[in-house]
Amino acid sequence: MNTEQLILKRCYNHPSREAVALCPRCQRFFCRECVTEHESQMICALCLASLQARSQKPSREIFPVIGKAFLCVASFILTWLIFYSFGLGIAAIPSTPFHAQNLGNDSFFSDEDASLPESSP
């Protein structure tokens, strides 16, 4: 459309104002106040509202609830497996004391260390 034809057109919402843009969806002319840029196109408010209404799908409440319940159960099972594995690791440690041979000794040093002569200053 050439500029001369656009000058002669008037705004669809405001007949006293001259049109500056043609809405590509509804093919109506609009003034500067009635159009907005959306995805690099000048589009009227009514068409923009219908586009936004289509893009907003109603949310289904059952799926987020099931997803959260699944996440809760999965995290519980994972936590249980971690603690169960930790318990198995602890159970695998032998029950005899590590220093069983030194249990009867009262001294901290072995008998060999006690037989060494003390150095005098």
- Dihedral of the CA atoms 32, 9, 21, 31 (nearest 10)? 10
How far apart (Å, rounded) are the C-alpha atoms in residues 118 and 110? 15
Residue 9 has phi, psi (to 5 degrees) of -85, 155
How far apart (Å, rounded) are the C-alpha atoms in residues 11 and 2? 17
Residue 52 has phi, psi (to 5 degrees) of -70, -35
Q: Of 6, 54, 49, whose CA–CA distance to 28 is shortest?
A: 6
Q: What are the pLDDT digits (tens) for 28-68?
A: 998 888 898 888 888 988 888 888 877 766 656 666 778 88
Q: How confident is the model at residue 21 (pLDDT cuts 50, 70, 90)?
A: confident
Phi-psi region of 59 (alpha: psi -120 to 50; beta: other; left: phi over 0): beta
Q: What are the pLDDT digits (tens) for 84-112?
A: 999 999 988 877 766 655 555 555 555 55
